[in-house]
Amino acid sequence: MYFFLDILSYCCAIFDMKNNHKYAILSFSGGLDSTSLLINLLYNKFHVKCITFDYGQKHLIEIDRAIQNIEYLNNSGLELHISHNIVNIKDAFNSKASSLFNNSQEIPRGHYEDSNMLSTFVPNRNAIFTSIIFSYALSWSKELNNHDIYFSLGCHSGDHTIYPDCRPDFYKKLIESLKMGNWGGEIINEYMPYINYTKKDILAESIPFIKKMGLDFNQVYKNTNTSYSPDKSGISPGDTGSDVERILAFHELGIKDPIQYAGGWEAAVKNAIKIEEDYQKSSK
């Protein structure tokens, strides 16, 4: 009996010494930011568990896009380690709390930092997302003999003005609390490289990663949704705040966005530039 336990302990120790892999839980919406972050993690040789939340959002097309990209990556011929779960948390939110839920409330048009974008804020959303993926990270760590695990979200600087739950100081305090409130929390760490990036920065960083991995840039980003108000087939109107930010990021890098816009790409760029110029004038 003791001999068996000694052998078991030895095998566990050998497993732990040989397990030099990196592991991450990713909050994966199917948007540009989290998709870019998935590419970042895969390029850096992480084993990734993607968690997509169905929280009652109108733009459910983003979940379809997330599924499509996971399928594309898993069929790419590369040795990637990805799993994908869709978690239903609709009951955690009041459907009237945000224009992202309430079908009688229009998604605002205009600049991403306009005050009317406040209606798209979902109370406590990122705290809930982060708490859930932190829990996944704790469980995965236990499965891997208390191995370090990272949890990852694609929050970036463009979110800071309208969404207080995307700001660095919010995450600093939230992460401290999650670590403090859980045994084993000290070996769970955040991987949030975009927290002070613009969307243009995120996109620019992804280009060489995708190229070196031999992936199709257009296919990766065609399988994303950024708009809060796409039609049923996924065509973006091009005039919501999230659309405008994305359009300008592609345009400033001299790249045509592979997703479809109502009216076409050139019209979308022209409109986005005007919205940006009007916002800058009104902000002076």
Structural domain containing residue 107: 22-217
Question: What does the CA dihedral 38, 87, 91, 94 come to, rounded to 10 degrees?
Answer: 20
pLDDT in tens, 23-75: 999 999 999 999 999 999 999 999 999 999 999 999 999 999 999 999 999 99
Q: How many CA atoms lie within 13 A of 224 on its CB side?
A: 23
The count of structural domains within the chain is 1
Rounded Cα distance, 222 and 224, in Å: 5
Residue 252 lies in a domain: no
* DSSP code at position 31: S
Q: Find the CATH number of the domain harbouring 84.
A: 3.40.50.620
More confident residue, 131 or 6: 131
* DSSP one-letter string for 139-177: HHHHHTTS--EEEE----GGGTTT-GGGSHHHHHHHHHH
Structure confidence at residue 18 (pLDDT):
55
Rounded Cα distance, 229 and 243, in Å: 9
pLDDT in tens, 154-193: 999 988 899 999 999 999 999 999 999 999 999 999 999 9
Classify 110 in phi/psi space as left (phi over 0), alpha (psi -120 to 50) or beta.
left
Residue 16 has pLDDT above 60, yes or no: no
Tell me the chain's radius of gyration from C-alpha atoms. Answer: 20
Rounded Cα distance, 191 and 195, in Å: 10
pLDDT in tens, 109-161: 999 999 889 999 999 999 999 999 999 999 999 999 999 999 999 999 988 89
Decide: pTM greater than 0.85: yes
Tokens matching residue 157: 């600087």
Residue 140 lies in a domain: yes
Residue 2 has pLDDT above 70, yes or no: no
Mean pLDDT over residues 199-210, rounded? 98
Rounded Cα distance, 75 and 183, in Å: 38
Residue 233 lies in a domain: no
Confidence of residue 83 (pLDDT cuts 50, 70, 90): very high
3-state secondary structure of 50: strand
Rounded Cα distance, 263 and 235, in Å: 10
Structure confidence at residue 21 (pLDDT):
97
Sequence-distant (≥ 6) Cβ neighbours of residue 18 within 8 angstroms: none
Sequence-distant (≥ 6) Cβ neighbours of residue 60 within 8 angstroms: 54
Residue 6 has pLDDT above 90, yes or no: no
Residue 8 lies in a domain: no
Question: Mean pLDDT over all residues of the chain?
Answer: 93
Tokens matching residue 120: 């798209």
Rounded Cα distance, 211 and 96, in Å: 43
Residue 10 has pLDDT above 90, yes or no: no
Residue 274 lies in a domain: no
If DSSP states are collapsed to H, E and C, what string results for 185-251? HHHEEEECCCCCCCHHHHHHHHHHHHHHHCCCHHHHHHCCCCCCCCCCCCCECCCEHHHHHHHHHHH
Residue 10 lies in a domain: no
Residue 237 lies in a domain: no
